[in-house]
Structure 1
Amino acid sequence: MTLLTEPEAPVRAPHPLRAEAVRGFAPWAGAVVLLTLGVPLWAKADRWQGGWAETADQLHTALLITLPLAAAAGCWQGGRERRRGTEELWGTTVRPPLTRLLVAALPVVLWVTAGYLVTAALALLATWPYAQGDRPHPAVLPGDTVATAAGALAGHVVGRVVATRLAAPLLAMAGYVGLGIVAAGGSPAGRALSPATGALDGALPVWWQPWAMAVWTGGLALAAALAYAARRRVTALLPLAAALSAGALLAQAGDGLWHTDPLGRRQVCDTSTTPAVCVNARYAGMLPQVGEALSGITDKLHGVRNLPVRWADHGSAPRAGEAQLPGITPLGWSAVRGRLTDPRQYAWQAVTALQGYDCPETTLTARVLRADDAVEHYLAPSPVQKAIDEDDARGDAARRAGLRERRAARARLAGMDERQRRDWLSAYFGARAGCDPKEVPAL
């Protein structure tokens, strides 16, 4: 008796694109992008972690590295067949040239783009627990992501055209230098056309800027690929026309592509004290700890006249009747991850802001300086004042005499009764507000 067996089903070969995507150079290119961006970002996390605007700024500035790196990765992949000596063999396949180019280029495009997006996602997740009142700023991500992908695709075409192993590093260096020059000192039109426009400083793009940038960069890269490998090269005119239209729109807008975040113009205030304490609305969550850091000052100033109405943080010079709140930004100095790094130093800076810091230097007579020192020592002494005094105590006779005078003035202010001290401080702040050294009361 003969047994009949069914024929085995043919094993389906994996798609070439899948094979290219999971093996070889492409995954390594994505890992290099992830590490090249992630490690420097993590090393300076205290400068952006806790501020959504700062995080977006860092990710956008990172495009100065991402874009040249993506272009170099695509360029290296584009020269692969030449390095292997398989160009002629690869050309005998039945697939059209454009398909062969895309099968080789798309894995690198996808992996470097994934590396950038994973870095961006991790940075946003790292900021989320420490955010203090702002909101995420993902507006520039679409344009930056497409620019990264476009750089890899355009670099692949360069790698096929330029027959040298140095094409990839030279392309990376040229891209980095070119983007840096445009970002640092280019014309408004040049900056508008550059995917890496430099530091945003809290600015937001107009709603259509990321999409126009995506069409500009993506259209140029696609036009280059079609012009090189398409059977009908005239098809490259369509993405080229779209890119030029988007580029013209960007160049015409220039610096008008960016506007100040409305939230950055708002203040959040605690009016229960005098002066009131106001912080920028982007960091509203820090108001309680800022108020606590300044509470020792406001308690001692209760009932004192001639004070500014508030400490405020407009990101510029204080307005009439205001004193400059010590800076929360740039992050990494006074504040790290949503916390004040040194509340005592912060309080001392707040006192100096009350003392007419914008008065001419000619008003800083010895009498004024002694009064300033006594007020600072009473309200919020500098954390380094003790070290300064000890250094003066070891100095020459003039420095020792100056130290004795300062200590005597401090003692006289501290020894006044509450009403007398309140009147003296009222006269002092009135004279300092008017930058009149003759009106500063003696100690």
Structure 2
Amino acid sequence: MTTRAATTTATAPATPETRAAHPLRAEAVRGFAPLAGAAVLLMLGVLLAASAKNWQGGWAETAALTHDALLIALPLAAAAGCWQGGRERRRRTEELWGTAVRAPLSRLLASALPVALWVAVGYLVAVALATLATWPYSVGDHPHLTRVPGDTAALMAAALLGHLVGRAVPTHLAAPLLGVVGYAGLGMAARQNALDALDPAAFGVAGTRPVWWQPLAMAAWTLGLALALILAYAARRRATALLPLAAALTAGALLVQGGSGLWRPDPLAHRQVCDTSTTPAVCVNARYAGMLPEVRAALAGITGKLHGVHGLPARWSDRGTDPRADEAPLPTLAPFGWSVVRGRLTHPDQYAWEAVAALTGHGDCENQPAPVPLADEAVQAYLAPNPSQSRFDALDAKGDAAARAHLRESLAARAKLAGMDERRRRTWLSGYFAARADCAPEGVPSL
């Protein structure tokens, strides 16, 4: 009876607690792989935090920055993979691993995949944090996440390729050298337009979005090449590398043939959102529709003074291109970080003055003399004074005789327009704007 119990105990299956952990799991939760993901997250976090005012609030700006960060993230991922690939050489355990039961491909993937996965996790967490940081300040549009799959796959491919370099190059300096060479190579590729279609870190085209299949093709192109090289290096049947290689070449051919067709115009970039309750109406680009109340408030003092005035443009517009015949251009809201930070105008008075400057220039003709007449200065000073006007006046007061004479005339014109009764001023302004719209400066009423 004792013998039977002993036999039963000896042949009992191992419990989950005593079962050996899978090598891939051990590599993924300990060692260098989590540190590689943390390094990518930290690098992107510092980059995003340092330039927050340039992207917070704009979804296109946020997407552009998280993608452009690949210029630094890809070399970092490659260097991390390279450092992991040279681990056994640094430990001097290459011969010991050569006697292991596991196949070379299994040993390589158990070491390389955790780094690639953690690098991807670090990037995805950074993208998620950037999205959350933009959400409270969003000025319109919606999150642009189309390129994230392709960018994530490119980072994983860079880590896998770096791992192969670390195994093949017998020097401790391989990882930093690969990072430097990778950064320089991506920088040079960015200057070659012919390589943009195949460059995972290529900058996007302003005002456009990639077609839906472009990120999938980019993922197949980068990961296919990495897997093909891994199989050619470590697989027992190296012919298996032909399958991912064929997928990579097919995806690359699609990207190259797609050319400019890979990018489609952003429908919002060419639309306007308007407030027609004022004259002129106030229109902003649909991408920044949330900025309309802010812009309208900045221009409220101007539109109030223009009530009942004729000859005005129909609207202020923010098209990013030359305005139409019945429009005056608004000061640009982009790029963020100058006039707009986190969904707010930084200097509404400066913005209003620039809008008036565009309004008084409505109808400017080509080859027309550049000097601003006294009437323009008076209208600008009445509608929205230049925040720096007092400083300019002080400089003119200390200038030569011509500058002092111009200052006296300008002050007199400003005072005369401001001192008119409302009805007379409205009539004068109507004549002024009608003459400016017709490119007839000689028709501007005198002051």
Matched residues in 2 for 1:221 and 1:257: separation? 23
Does residue 137 of the first structure (1) align with residue 144 of the second (2)? yes
Are the equivalent residues in 2 in contact too, given 1:356–1:435 (CA < 8 A)? no
Please tell me whether residue 386 in structure 1 is matched to residue 390 in structure 2.
Answer: yes
Answering whether residue 441 of structure 2 is matched by residue 426 of structure 1, we say: no
In 2, the alpha carbon distance for the partners of 1:138 and 1:331 equals 20
**The one of 349, 370, 389 aligned to 2:354:** 349
User: 1:40 Cα deviation (Å)?
Assistant: 1.2
1:346 partner letter: Y
Identify the match of residue 66 of structure 1 among 62, 73, 77: 73
Aligned to 1:261: 266
- Which of 10, 28, 31 is the matching residue for 1:24? 31
Partners of 2:192 and 2:354 lie apart in 1 by: 34
Q: Is the 8 A contact 1:57 1:200 kept in 2?
A: no
CA–CA separation in structure 2 for the residues paired with 1:409 and 1:320: 29
Please list every run of 5 or more consecutive structure 1 residues that lacks an aligned counterpart in the other structure.
none
Which among 382, 404, 409 is matched to residue 408 of structure 2? 404
* Deviation, structure 1 residue 61: 0.5
SS of alignment partner, residue 277 of structure 1:
strand
Alignment match, 1:338: 343
- The 5 Å alignment of 1:209-248 reads 209-248=214-253
Aligned positions of 1:10-21 closer than 5 A: 11-21=18-28
Tell me, what secondary structure is at the counterpart of 2:282? strand
Deviation per CA, 1:236-261: give whole Å up to 9, x if none: 00000000000000001112101111
Deviation at 1:91, TM superposition (A): 0.8
Matched, 1:373 2:377: yes
Secondary structure of residue in 1 paired with 2:233: helix
The aligned counterpart of 2:420 is: 416
Structure 1 stretch displaced more, 234-243 or 151-160: 151-160
**Following the alignment from structure 1 to structure 2, what is the Cα–Cα distance between the partners of residues 73 and 255?**
34
Contact 1:364 1:437 in 2 (8 A): no
Aligned to 1:123: 130
For residues 397 and 165 of structure 1, what CA distance do their matches in structure 2 show?
73
Among 108, 113, 133, the residue aligned to 1:101: 108
**Would the aligned equivalents of 1:117 and 1:145 in 2 still touch at CA under 8 Å?**
yes
Aligned residues of 1:217 and 1:243 also touching (Cα < 8 A): yes
1:294 — aligned with what? Answer: 299
Matched with 2:310 is 305
1:85-96 equivalences in 2 (<5 Å): 85-96=92-103
Counterpart of 1:322? 327
Contact 2:360–2:380, Cα closer than 8 Å, also in 1 = no
Greater CA drift, 425-434 or 96-105: 425-434
1:22-41 residue CA offsets vs partner (Å, 9 max, x unmatched)? 22211111111111111011
**Cα distance in 2 for residues equivalent to 1:191 and 1:147:** 14
Distance between the aligned counterparts of 2:65 and 2:365, measured in 1? 36
Deviation of the 1:66 alpha carbon: 1.1
Return 170-179 or 135-144, whichever deviates more: 170-179
TM-score with structure 2 setting the length: 0.94
Indicate which of 270, 285, 291 corresponds to 2:290.
285
User: Which residue is 1:272 aligned to?
Assistant: 277
- 1:41 paired residue number: 48
Output the CA distance in 2 between the equivalents of 1:101 and 1:182.
Answer: 30
Q: 1:384 to 1:361 in 2, by over 3 A?
A: farther
Q: Percent identity?
A: 68
Moved more, 419-428 or 248-257: 419-428
Letter in 1 for 2:182: G
CA distance in 1 between counterparts of 2:341 and 2:207 reads 17
Q: Could you report, residue by residue, the CA deviation over 1:334-373 in whole angstroms, capped at 9, with x for unpaired residues? A: 11111111111111011011122654574344xx431111
Three-state SS of the structure 2 residue aligned to 1:363 is coil
Give the Å deviation of 1:430.
2.1
Q: Secondary structure at the match of 2:191?
A: helix
* Alpha-carbon distance in structure 2 between the residues aligned to 1:273 and 1:320: 19
Distance in 2 between residues matched to 1:296 and 1:256, nearest whole Å:
45
Question: What is the RMSD computed on CA atoms of the aligned residues?
Answer: 1.9
Matched AA of 2:259: G
Q: 1:147 aligns with which of 133, 154, 158?
A: 154
> How far apart are the structure 2 equivalents of 1:298 and 1:27?
58
Secondary structure in 1 aligned to 2:264?
strand
Contact 1:355 1:433 in 2 (8 A): no
Give the TM-score of the pair, scaled to structure 1: 0.95
1:79-126 deviation digits (Å, cap 9, x = unpaired): 111122111111110000000000110111111111111100000010
Counterpart-to-counterpart distance in 2, 1:23 and 1:130:
38
Is the Cα–Cα contact under 8 Å of residues 49 and 127 in structure 1 kept in the other structure?
yes
> Is the partner of 2:122 in helix, strand or coil?
helix
* Paired position in structure 1 for 2:369: 363
Greater CA deviation, 203-212 or 171-180?
A: 171-180
Q: Is contact 1:54-1:202 (8 Å) kept?
A: no
